[in-house]
Structure 1
Amino acid sequence: MDPSPAELRRLASLSELACLVADGSAPRRGALAQATGLSRAAVAQRVDLLIARGLLVETEPEPVGRGRPPASLRLAPEAALVAAVDLGATHCRIAVTTLDGRPLAEQARDLDIDDGPTRVLGAVHELIGKLLEKAGRPSRDVRAISIGVPGPVEASTGTVIRPPIMRGWDGYRVPEFFAESEGERGRKHELHRADVLVDNDVNIMAFGEYSHRRDGEHLLYVKVGTGIGCGIVSGGVLHRGASGAAGDIGHIRLPGHDDVLCHCGNSGCVEAVAGGKALANALKEAGLKAEGVRDVVRLVEEGNPVALRRVREAGRQIGEVLASLVSFHNPDAIVLGGRLAQLHEELLADIRAVIYRRALPLATRSLTIETSTLGERAGVEGAARLAARHLLSPRGIGRLLTRPE
């Protein structure tokens, strides 16, 4: 049964306090009162409830000099567990974390997203179970599963919509796979009580990078791997667009490349020209051993001049697209991720040069352009943060406060 309007207002107030503590904006009772405008008595009542229900903990710092400093609040690490899942075209990384983002167990493995949803999600389910066993925690403690997939997603329903590279996934509702209870598919671990969130993989990477940095409110995270995609944070909020398609920059047309066909059905897309798969194919045609992005990186690191020339040209082509985005979005930062971002000296230098040459000075005056600080963990970091934000929302916190037996 849906909560009443009065109950929703109460939960919204509890949610606001918990979120302020979670992001470090107001780690003390006095700061919470100042940030929310609530009286100290009202803050104390709500904080005491969150502590009593196991969502917050309060620690007394060691006294320094005269007087006792105020106690600090933080999320209780045992309040709930989150399963953070980053699915790529050829790999996955999964972490089981506490509500405050501390990883308890984590593992990466190769997989083929084209094996289809049942097989891929079955492997995800199995790996989450193994990580829980490693962490020594029961599956009932997992209150949210947050999954990033390499394709367009209707985030409100977790439905994959016409993905270019995910064969067999079109129209598939990912949460329904986890909604079935233990035994329905012979599963050992029961995860059907957990809320399941699904988003595009680059979106969760962008949010992970933003949450880790927090030195600006407007960020573009550009993943350059097998394909090219972009996650957008605007005003501190992940921007998905009207239908969840925002940031699909890999299919922006590059002038002068109409002879290059893209798997989306159009021609001249920047992904088809400068993505990792396109680079590997070009190097293979040049007589080099290059089956995928890893081989492109290897050849450049070995100093192969053909590979280096191709990667630098790709950097300039990607830079042309990003220069237009800088003029449109005016971000504080562009963060480059994905496997090709390992070639930061070779790729980033040319991207940066084109952006600063093409975009107006006002748009680039405070712009930083750099590679990801989280690397391959950006996806699971973002998935965990999004799951925590969901669990601390008014409705989410209501379910946490009435946890099942």
Structure 2
Amino acid sequence: MTGRPMATPGVSVGDVLGLIRADAVATRSDIARQTGLSRTAVTLRVEQLLALGLATERAEGASTGGRPPSRLRFAPNAGVVLAASVGASRTQVAVCDLAGEVLAQNEFPVPIDSDASAALGAAADHLDRLLMDRPTTPVYGVGVGVPSPVDTASGHGLSPAALDETAFSHLFRDRFNAPVRVDTDVNVLALAEHARRPEVNDLLLLKASTGLGVGIIAGGRLQRGAWGAAGEIGHIKVSGGAGRSCRCGDTDCLETVAAGWALLDRFTALGRTTSGLPALADLAATGDPDALRLVRDAGRSIGEVMAAAVNLLNPAAIIVRGDLSRAFTPLAAGLREQIYRHSSALNTRALHIEPANPDAPTGIQACAAMILDEVLEPAAINARLASTA
């Protein structure tokens, strides 16, 4: 059958906004052709988007008789989303527009003895201060990445030491009166990486920083596991732990030999000092013998654990992020040595181990993208429209 498609009453205001955001339509006539909606229905939906401030319509181009054509565009300045990338040693926060562009941001250290509630409270305080310059701009949502497992259904964090719940999402929802989405930091980064390369349906995002974790994309979908703890490689027991205590309260975890905090402790034990993990990684990258050995050994320890993941999941790529990726060459040398030694040839024959591209989303950009996917989906836009009626 050819000709105009059947009218589709189910095409909502939110669906029309999705078409505009994707640049799939430029005019009201385009919308009618794409959706089969009548002229009256198109007009109603466009006028509702204009009233919400989520779209603009301006005359562009020369007229060929009658009114000049008017082009519809998404209006990212209609509101903002807040992003907080909470790390074990530092936190980044930002206010972003509805296209994910950072409008204002800040970074601050996380005290080593800070608990989850204190770290998240500090992030919320910093976001409040960033919003002072935009007191009337609506906050559409808050995206938060945290360095621990998360029950995404409830928005509660799960401590690796015990299943003690911290109400991550409630803290931000109560403060900003907006939808909140919280996930493990490596999951947020893995989703962002997969969005950049959607053709790669199986990849592992290794974050090697103060802590260690892996975000798993398998079959094109993020794998969180039964309790949100998939990818917690930092707390797998290793033979080289030598009884060392981990931050989680257990002993002999991978983190005790390969995480950033453990490397800094060992660097200090050598009589050396540095300002922090980024500086240690930079020393390794420039050939400092002590730092180089520590980072390469960390790569070997991580690689031995990652080899099991490679055999189990058969990823096409392992993307390395985090402060230790600043010394990617020695870190990757250790990773490759153990992965290729302990994984099957079938699983490694086309495996790519690489750092994130320089233009890869930062933690806060990934958090912003995560919440934007939720608050700009059709159902969310339709609900916002209903609340203003």
State the distance in 1 between where 2:311 and 2:14 align: 36
Q: Return closer, same or farther for 1:256/1:122 CA change in 2, 3 Å cut-off.
A: closer
Query: Aligned-pair distance for 1:94?
Result: 1.0
State the distance in 2 between where 1:275 and 1:58 align: 52
State the distance in 2 between where 1:240 and 1:358 align: 25
Query: Is contact 2:139–2:176 with CA below 8 Å preserved after alignment?
Result: no
The aligned counterpart of 2:46 is 48
Query: Aligned-pair distance for 1:302?
Result: 5.2
Query: Aligned-pair distance for 1:159?
Result: 1.2
Deviates most, 327-336 or 113-122: 113-122
State the distance in 2 between where 1:21 and 1:235 align: 29
Q: How many residues align?
A: 372
User: Does 2:376 correspond to 1:392?
Assistant: yes
Identity of aligned residues (%): 34
Query: Aligned-pair distance for 1:101?
Result: 1.0
Query: Aligned-pair distance for 1:357?
Result: 4.5
The aligned counterpart of 2:78 is 79
Question: Quick one: which amino acid aligns to residue 125 of structure 1?
Answer: A
What TM-score do you get using the length of structure 1 for normalisation? 0.77
Structure 2 runs not aligned, ≥5 long = 1-8, 63-68
Query: Aligned-pair distance for 1:274?
Result: 1.2
Q: Return closer, same or farther for 1:139/1:272 CA change in 2, 3 Å cut-off.
A: farther
Query: Is contact 1:391–1:400 with CA below 8 Å preserved after alignment?
Result: no
Considering only aligned residues, what root-mean-square deviation do their CA atoms show, in Å? 3.7
User: Does 2:156 correspond to 1:159?
Assistant: yes
Query: Aligned-pair distance for 1:154?
Result: 1.4
State the distance in 1 between where 2:360 and 2:269 align: 29
Among 131, 135, 160, the residue aligned to 1:138: 135
The aligned counterpart of 1:336 is 320
Among 199, 202, 224, the residue aligned to 2:183: 199
State the distance in 2 between where 1:294 and 1:162 align: 26
Among 233, 245, 251, the residue aligned to 1:249: 233
Question: Quick one: which amino acid aligns to residue 177 of structure 1?
Answer: L
State the distance in 2 between where 1:173 and 1:86 align: 16
Q: Return closer, same or farther for 1:362/1:206 CA change in 2, 3 Å cut-off.
A: same
> Which structure has the larger Rg?
2
The aligned counterpart of 2:107 is 108
User: Does 2:173 correspond to 1:175?
Assistant: no
Question: Quick one: which amino acid aligns to residue 140 of structure 2?
Answer: R
Q: Return closer, same or farther for 1:85/1:289 CA change in 2, 3 Å cut-off.
A: same
The aligned counterpart of 2:97 is 98
Query: Is contact 1:338–1:375 with CA below 8 Å preserved after alignment?
Result: no
Q: Return closer, same or farther for 1:291/1:194 CA change in 2, 3 Å cut-off.
A: same
Among 356, 363, 369, the residue aligned to 2:347: 363
Q: How does 1:204-215 map to 2 (within 5 A)?
A: 204-215=188-199
Deviates most, 114-123 or 96-105: 114-123
State the distance in 2 between where 1:236 and 1:202 align: 16
Query: Is contact 2:193–2:360 with CA below 8 Å preserved after alignment?
Result: no
Question: Quick one: which amino acid aligns to residue 303 of structure 1?
Answer: G
Query: Is contact 1:221–1:230 with CA below 8 Å preserved after alignment?
Result: yes
Question: Quick one: which amino acid aligns to residue 317 of structure 1?
Answer: S
Query: Aligned-pair distance for 1:72?
Result: 7.8
State the distance in 1 between where 2:333 and 2:161 align: 30
State the distance in 1 between where 2:88 and 2:360 align: 14
Question: Quick one: which amino acid aligns to residue 95 of structure 1?
Answer: A
The aligned counterpart of 1:3 is none
State the distance in 1 between where 2:71 and 2:239 align: 56
Displacement over 4 Å in runs of 4+: 13-22, 24-34, 40-47, 56-63, 70-74, 374-377
Query: Aligned-pair distance for 1:374?
Result: 5.3
The aligned counterpart of 1:305 is 289
Q: Return closer, same or farther for 1:341/1:20 CA change in 2, 3 Å cut-off.
A: farther
SS state at 1:95 partner? strand
SS state at 1:86 partner? strand
Deviates most, 259-268 or 241-250: 259-268
Query: Is contact 2:94–2:103 with CA below 8 Å preserved after alignment?
Result: yes
Question: Quick one: which amino acid aligns to residue 319 of structure 1?
Answer: G
Among 336, 348, 356, the residue aligned to 1:372: 356
